[in-house]
Structure 1
């Protein structure tokens, strides 16, 4: 545990940290992409796509104001301004965009007129009987009663009334033991270190209080909703694969009970008040057997990097009775934050893969729809539509909606000739990177629609099933969010540095796509349950000032936009503006990760403005925009991850560098939830 072998050392782009690759995703980029199906190629259907588009009555995306390539846009801001572009401002949360922040700056940087404060940090005690955070005496038992590590998905709720009480829900993606524990503790207490790490995963539900609307929130120790859900919490399993032989182990011969949730990344809040969380890079926790289904999900033979198998035999799939243990992870989980005694659920009907997000919305006809991306190079985008309809006010019924329905995978088709998708980033002659798509059904209720697969096989080995139906391989589909004003759907594609020129198509048009992009989708007839959609690329990310950049922002002059790279989590404000947090800017464009506002409608469509930056080596996660309350919330994940014990690159949020201990303050970086608030009280209303 003292010194990790880092396969990505010397192979990352720019300043990307090899330790982040190791801990976050198990060095996914150092391995062959698990998808070897050949589904990156959609040029075979490019010409047919144009004629079928007319036959289906599907239009393209919104056309750009002018038809020019990225290089031309850089040279012609005056012409663009004459076409109606004006710098933005105003809105319910007005701010002047900040300049990008150098990657070594160790603070949260916010616009003029705003300030920030942490609400809760890793290790803060949640219950009346929780031990105080003690850096040199961490155990599984203590961590199970404290706020978890590496915060990701976040939502913040007010109880209404006088707006003085509320709660937050936050997921904890992974752990970095080298900056959580001293070298002496790592060496002397290996079992405690692993058990504490297991308990530091999962989710936290935490009660909040404040003086009144618009003021700073504080967390409530001993709050009635306070809860830790960890790597050892009991879950039930439901849906068509529940009870399948593929889910049974020696500890659970029913295939309906699982201990723990792992690598919880983005998620979503349902219209009925529960929280969904996606189990993402769960593969890295297991020792594999070499089976093809394991390879497709990214599980490798040999010791795991985390060595949890040395403490708990279920993490070694070679151990007798545990061959299926990994099949019990990789799901969307549902939690009722209002009931701390409830048993959380893993929903097999939504498929098993590296879930990023679980965004729920109600369709035009009342069905529950959940969008989710599979965060892997060259993997897919998915949608689930419930069999039963949503009943307003009937939470008990609504909590069954994700147990049965239709699981779809997306196919994207472009409108432009093959010759125009040439990898330069130049906009095609029709004015947009755009096209139409369809949702291909994989399972409908309890019936498989994939030849050669049973329903259980489709749901447990969803990637293998999707490979067979010609789904579109994407550039790491991450968060999905639906616009509360327009109903359009947005998908963040973080990057794909290994996409080759021969595998381009209009939805993923950049080879070696290091900066990523965001796609806007319009479901046919505005119905989230539809099986056809239009799409267009809202922006190709990047820093327009850097040589060879492919940046494109739907016609906005490139000298007006804030640099942005590696879009990850998405959110919306009450006016329907998109907010994008990033994961990887230090390694691609050299700046701290950040949160940006993106205008979607009107003459400023495509304008990107940076609102904040997180501290050194940190990632911006889980943005929540309460513009009517003068507040923005973010989870600051893995601050100081590039450092080591005694050589930290961050001391966020305590900033006490004389450590490792000074009084009751801990001089190590601690992932935390941050509230950014207006200091002027002017929210534009």
Structure 2
């Protein structure tokens, strides 16, 4: 299909805490109510062992040359530029913080407005029917906006038009269908509707009268609009494509795969595509207890039950598609847990699961260029005691060369992180008290796991490293984190930030300098400074600039800023930067930890006001704040309040957002300044 509008090449900007048990059930299959899958003997950061890969293995992984610092999405330039003068200037947020609340609305600061761009069930494809809550069908849902958006991105077409991408992570059947109890008793059509509500959407949007507000385009052909679901044909690419562990009855060659699921955070590429990460895919499968014995260790490592029948309280997607029964199709689980690359400008294109980026519970895929213009992708594995990862391509990015750039994520080196603290072990006791040097900080290295042709983990082939990445990272001696989620580089300083959401399972004995608080229900932020500010570097320094929670809690820390002047924050999840170097943090789990709705916060990360964190927006009752995305002109913030009213039912709703109707509808929202200025400043 030919397109009338030109593609705009993009550079890159470069639970169990307070979450409801209902969300834990539907989003991740109660992951935090089971033992953590990581039972490896890997040391925690505080008592990290000296064993490392041999010098020969490190050398043969290839020395990665000096690299480019982050390029801001807000700048929308395709040039691989250095960051602005690092540490100079004193960015400060110019809005009055929103007070903590539990209101069933989106609350924004004085001088700002917001609107709903698109809701669950709104038409996406031109022939989609209007949403009919009482008479939902899978056929209709496949053409309508899906449920529970998480990662959102907005890619410009021209000055006043853009494409909105939204991941549809998972479904809350209790608020979707009257009388729903579980997948065993659900009507089969309800199961099919739920499956169709997963995936992602491409929606053309337009600016409202030259303001910072946006709305969905509802008239005309809308040639870009697209729905991607669990049934959309996709292909594997990269070194693991075709491996026997990816072969099934439906795909004997192990190259084709049907759909994606539980897509959480993501990223964009400089060539204008979307990277969408599959996260808690394990919960959709049954039959693990009857899987072959030689497959059970890997299944268990990814959180799939291999003992006892898991059909009770399961969505039972296997009733609609047999492939979700591992007793019959054991390799089907290996076909999920990948980064999916999607071209939003070509609705006829086939999405690709990029095996070179590894398989785990992906949270985020943030891209950055090295100094010699290779592509680095930063990724978190969102579970307690899991790891941080980075991929660096072999090939270099070429602006305007679509065919070449489409190969970059299939060949390179996949790394996993290992960090050490620089304080005496006795000063890190799990209380969160700062060590004597006044900082939680230290050094780190990216350990190579494999490249496209060679494995650096003994006992693993390249394909096995990529398909069973968690097991390979265990063997390589990676370090254990407090639920690493989204990554984002600072466009001003070039430093890279990772949100660590929480980990109440960490004991005082397991506390270490990068994870300094035991029973960490509030989470924290990790700041990484790679050698020479190079995305291709294999060594880095790190700090923990923010330890979240109520500022009155002595275990909290806000980069040394006066805590009497900051807002409370809990459970950081997704992050973004504006072009001034302010970090925007969306949260997941605040209501059960600091008695306030989840929110979007902003905080300068360099200069005089580093650490002055302010709440910018709160989301409706029982919702999680997803997104965020700062548009290129810094005039709009996009968020996606997910699962409003998660504890309610159709018969007894706890939220009626956004339309004051008998049921809530997860939606995407734009927020802007009424005077037309830049958000936050």
TM-score (norm 2): 0.88
Is 1:594–2:594 an aligned residue pair? no
* Contact map agreement 1:40 1:378 (CA 8 A) in 2: no
Distance, in Å, in 2 between the alignment partners of 1:185 and 1:174 is 17
SS of alignment partner, residue 20 of structure 1: helix
8 Å CA contact 1:515, 1:566 repeated in 2: yes
Q: Is the aligned partner of 1:531 residue 2:538?
A: yes
Q: What's 1:85 paired with?
A: none
Q: Which residue of 1 aligns with 2:224?
A: 225
Q: Distance in 2 between matches of 1:272 and 1:485?
A: 22
Per-residue CA deviations over 1:527-572 (Å, capped at 9, x if unaligned) read 10111010000110000235xx511111111111100000000000
| Rounded Cα–Cα distance in structure 2 between residues aligned with 1:211 and 1:652 | 22
Q: Which residue of 1 aligns with 2:638?
A: 633
Which position in structure 2 is the counterpart of 1:197?
194
- Aligned partner of 1:312 among 300, 305, 321: 321
Counting only pairs closer than 5 Å after superposition, residues 297-336 of structure 1 correspond to structure 2 as: 297-301=302-306, 302-304=309-311, 305-319=314-328, 322-336=329-343
Alignment of 1:121-270 (within 5 A): 121-160=119-158, 163-183=159-179, 190-221=187-218, 222-270=221-269
Superposed CA deviations along residues 441-469 of structure 1, whole A, max 9, x for unmatched, are 00112211100111111111110110011
What does residue 662 of structure 1 align with? none
1:59-98 counterparts in 2 under 5 A? 94-98=94-98
Q: What's the offset of the Cα at 1:260?
A: 0.7
Structure 2, unmatched stretches of 5+, are 1-14, 53-89, 290-295
User: Match of 2:565?
Assistant: 560
Aligned to 1:125, what secondary structure does the other structure show? coil
Pair 1:655-2:660 in alignment: yes
Q: Residue 23 of structure 2 is aligned with which of 20, 30, 33?
A: 20
* 2:676 is aligned with 1:673: no
Structure-2 residue corresponding to 1:113: 111
Answer yes or no: is the 8 Å Cα contact 2:174–2:181 preserved in 1.
Answer: no
Given the superposition, is the C-alpha separation of residues 215 and 479 from structure 1 closer, same or farther in structure 2, using an over 3 Å criterion? Answer: closer
The alpha-carbon distance between structure 1 residues 169 and 562, as it changes in their structure 2 partners (threshold 3 A), is same
Does the Cα contact within 8 Å between 1:225 and 1:338 map onto a contact in 2? yes
Which residue is 2:76 aligned to? none
Distance in structure 2 (CA, Å) of the matches to 1:542 and 1:318: 44
Partner secondary structure for residue 240 of structure 2 = coil
Quote the residue 2:85 is aligned against.
Answer: none
Hey, what's the Cα distance between the residues in 2 that align with 1:138 and 1:298? 32
Q: How far apart are 1:158 and its partner, in Å?
A: 2.8
More relative contact order, 1 or 2 (CA 8 Å, 6+ apart): 2
1:484 maps to 491
* Structure 2 match to 1:495: 502
Aligned to 1:447: 454
- Aligned-pair CA distance for 1:211: 4.2
> What is the root-mean-square deviation in Å for CA atoms of aligned residues?
2.0
CA contact (8 A) 1:89 1:95 kept: no
- Taking a change above 3 Å as real, the CA distance of residues 468 and 137 of structure 1, as seen in their structure-2 partners, is same
Inter-partner Cα distance in structure 1 for 2:359 and 2:211: 40
The reply to whether residue 36 of structure 1 matches residue 33 of structure 2 is no
Determine the structure 2 residue equivalent to 1:510: 517
- SS of match in other structure, 1:32: coil
Structure 1 residue 12, shift from structure 2 partner = 6.3
Aligned CA distance change for structure 1 residues 40 and 100 (closer, same or farther; 3 Å): farther
Q: Deviations over 1:234-269 (max 9, x none)?
A: 110001100000000000001000001000000001
User: Equivalent residue of 2:449, what SS?
Assistant: strand
Gaps of 5+ in 1: 1-10, 50-87, 657-666
Take 2:440 and 2:91, find their aligned partners in 1: how far apart are those partners?
A: 28
**1 CA distance for matches of 2:331 and 2:405?**
30
Which of 415, 425, 428 is the equivalent residue of 2:432? 425
1:664 aligned partner = none
> Any conservation in 2 of the 1:89–1:96 contact (CA below 8 Å)?
no
Partner residue of 1:624 out of 621, 629, 646? 629
Task: Name the CA distance, whole Å, in 1 between partners of 2:180 and 2:446.
Answer: 53
The alpha-carbon distance between structure 1 residues 428 and 317, as it changes in their structure 2 partners (threshold 3 A), is same
Give the structure-1-normalised TM-score.
0.87
In structure 2, the CA distance between the partners of 1:313 and 1:403, relative to structure 1 (3 Å rule), is same
Say whether residues 1:605 and 2:602 are aligned partners: no
Residues 540, 550 of structure 1: 8 Å contact kept: yes
Are 1:367 and 1:387, in contact at CA under 8 Å, matched by a contact in 2?
A: yes
Structure 1 residues 627 and 557, CA, compared in 2 at 3 Å: closer, same or farther?
farther
Alpha-carbon distance in structure 2 between the residues aligned to 1:471 and 1:188: 43
